[in-house]
Amino acid sequence: MSRTIYITNGIILIQLRPLRIAHSITITDGLVRGIDGEAPAHANCIDLQGKTALPGLVDSHLHLVQGASGMGNVDLRKVKSKEAFRSLLLEAQSEVPEGQWLVAYGWNQEELGANPDKSWFPNELTVPTLCYRIDFHSAVLNDIAINQIPYETIINVTGGSLIESGIVKEDALYSFVCPIIPSIAPENKCKRTIDALRNFQSKGITLVGSMEELADVRDVLMNIPLKSLMRVGVISLDAPTEENIASCVQLSSGDFIRVFGFKAFLDGSLGSRTAKMYEPWSDTEGDGLWAGVAESGELTNWVKQVCESGFAPVIHAIGDAAVGKGLEAFREIKNTSCPRIEHAQFISEKDIANVKHRMFGVQPLHQPDDAKIALEAVGETREKQLHNWRRMLDAGARLSFGSDWPVVSADPIAAIKVAVNNGVTIEEAIYASTEEAALSLNMPLAGTLTIDSYGDVVVLDCNPFDCDWTVTQPDICMTILDGTTVYAKEQ
């Protein structure tokens, strides 16, 4: 028996480029099968009541399993003093199971008034403790945690030079500290991931691009009912070895999960001052850090290996020097594999011509917080380059919108609002949140509602082209995944 829904009595944006509007669509067995036709017999009719429907929204950059289960349970984002920092950790200590670490997230030095170090932890805190900065590119540890780390090794690794003070960044954090933190049980990871995906549905999201370790793809994503939750395009954080490439092929099962790329890091972040810049930071020593394959000198070989295996190279580059290195590495490869540079927050004038036709995964919701520190961190000239999506589009770049959740909320409508209020047109912003984002994840059947596309739909309370985004934004009324309603706002 077929599953058929008929959506009618409203505005349906079935495609952004060229703009195509329909007044009804028919979705059967999860695919769009009719446009502006009569209602099929026995179809479940959805009356839009004048509302606007468009393709399900896409968040092309987040950290699903890690964000749901690996970043800790203590939220430090609203902590504004050393005393409050210490008090919250002491209060949380009683909830830490035996043998586990206390893991917190969300602090930033601008809110705290200083960079925390191991001296911030009270003596009464008797469990290993790690607190991630809000961008997850640096963290601070207490002595109990530090004593579990191989000091002689980590001090010579990128980001490990301050380990005596309890501060770790970049490669030191993710290659030497994170692996020794006891993992939570797979069933708990599954539950938390499901909860996160249901929240994403309420934001109109039907497809995400997630940075994942293959172990979490196997143990978590393959063991939850994605067909009723979300489509997931996976970017593997593992090395592109023959074994891992074979696993990626095996783990790509149909329309709901597909491993399409591998990710590498070139540098760090603006907030941690580890993004690699051509010129020094204005408010601290140094010009950032090379990380990952950039630090090891393996970038060119890594890109070649990924492309030859049939996958997309996805590289993290925030500083202008890192973006320049990424563009140079992509110079000789074709766009058929959809190579992506993630973040690209700063692009030097000498590199801007090289962005033409290249895909960039950008995160508009980073802009408000980054704007608060940009002038002090980089000075007036580079401040104007930060998150300058208008400049990128005018130079011919392709943009795919994401959130970087859990760093910021996964909320495409809020991201569109930020982009529109920073020089991007409404059409460009919606395109970057639907069709272009889907193409960046190698999911060409998502992002549109044309014939034979996925039956993924979001219903807004108003036409986004009639909305005054300077003062308001559309509300999500309904989310449809694979022809089934997975979220409906309570009336």
Mean pLDDT value across residues 76-94: 94
Quick: pLDDT tens for 124-149. 999 999 999 999 999 999 999 999 99
Alpha-carbon span 180 to 164, nearest angstrom: 18
Residue 457 is predicted with a pLDDT of 98
CB 210 within 8 A of CB 485: no
Residue 153 is predicted with a pLDDT of 87
Residue 238 is predicted with a pLDDT of 96
Residue 93 to residues 22, 121, 126, 178, 406: CA-CA distances in angstroms? Answer: 56, 12, 8, 19, 22
CB 41 within 8 A of CB 81: no
Residue 73 is predicted with a pLDDT of 82
Residue 277 has pLDDT above 80, yes or no: yes
Can you read off the two tokens belonging to residue 135? 């961008």
Residue 70 is predicted with a pLDDT of 80
Residues 6+ apart with CB under 8 A from 312: 235, 260, 261, 262, 306, 337, 338, 339, 340, 442
Which pLDDT band, with edges at 50, 70 and 90, does 381 fall under? very high
CB 129 within 8 A of CB 142: yes
Task: Tell me the backbone φ, ψ of residue 247, rounded to 5 degrees.
Answer: -65, -40
Vertex 464 angle, CA 459 and 434, to 5°: 65
Whole-number percent of the chain with pLDDT over 90: 89
Out of 172-176, 355-359, 470-474, pick the least confident: 172-176
Residue 334 is predicted with a pLDDT of 72
Sign of CA dihedral 407, 409, 413, 414: negative
Alpha-carbon span 303 to 299, nearest angstrom: 6
Q: Where are the beta strands (DSSP E) in 171-308?
A: 205-212, 231-236, 257-265
Residue 257 is predicted with a pLDDT of 96
The half-sphere exposure of 71 on its side-chain side, counting CA atoms within 13 A, is: 26
Mean pLDDT value across residues 437-457: 97
Residue 327 has pLDDT above 60, yes or no: yes
DSSP conformation letters of 397-424: -EEEE---BTSS---HHHHHHHHHTTT-
Alpha-carbon span 317 to 443, nearest angstrom: 23
Which pLDDT band, with edges at 50, 70 and 90, does 72 fall under? confident
Alpha-carbon span 257 to 168, nearest angstrom: 33
Residue 55 is predicted with a pLDDT of 98
Vertex 75 angle, CA 72 and 79, to 5°: 145
Q: Which residues pair with 341 in a beta bridge?
A: 315, 360
Which pLDDT band, with edges at 50, 70 and 90, does 332 fall under? confident
Vertex 126 angle, CA 406 and 72, to 5°: 10
Which pLDDT band, with edges at 50, 70 and 90, does 333 fall under? confident
Out of 11-20, 145-154, 381-390, 400-409, pick the least confident: 145-154
Residue 308 is predicted with a pLDDT of 92
Residue 484 has pLDDT above 60, yes or no: yes
Residue 296 has pLDDT above 70, yes or no: yes
Lookup result for tokens 């499901």: 194
Residue 491 has pLDDT above 90, yes or no: no
Alpha-carbon span 440 to 399, nearest angstrom: 9
Residue 68 to residues 96, 167, 189, 364: CA-CA distances in angstroms? Answer: 17, 24, 7, 21
Residue 2 is predicted with a pLDDT of 66
Quick: pLDDT tens for 8-45. 999 999 999 999 999 999 999 999 999 999 999 999 99
Lookup result for tokens 């593997």: 236
Mean pLDDT value across residues 314-322: 98
Q: Which helix (H) or strand (E) holds 25?
A: strand 20-28
Residue 299 has pLDDT above 90, yes or no: yes
Residue 431 is predicted with a pLDDT of 98
Out of 7-11, 66-70, 90-94, pick the least confident: 66-70
Start-to-end C-alpha separation, the chain: 31
Q: Which of 141-155, 181-195, 468-482 is the most confident on average?
A: 468-482
Residue 141 is predicted with a pLDDT of 96
Residue 335 is predicted with a pLDDT of 62
Mean pLDDT value across residues 183-202: 94
Alpha-carbon span 288 to 59, nearest angstrom: 28
pTM to 2 decimals? 0.93
Query: pLDDT higher for 83 or 335?
Result: 83
Task: Return mean pLDDT, the chain.
Answer: 95
Residue 71 is predicted with a pLDDT of 81
Residue 444 has pLDDT above 90, yes or no: yes
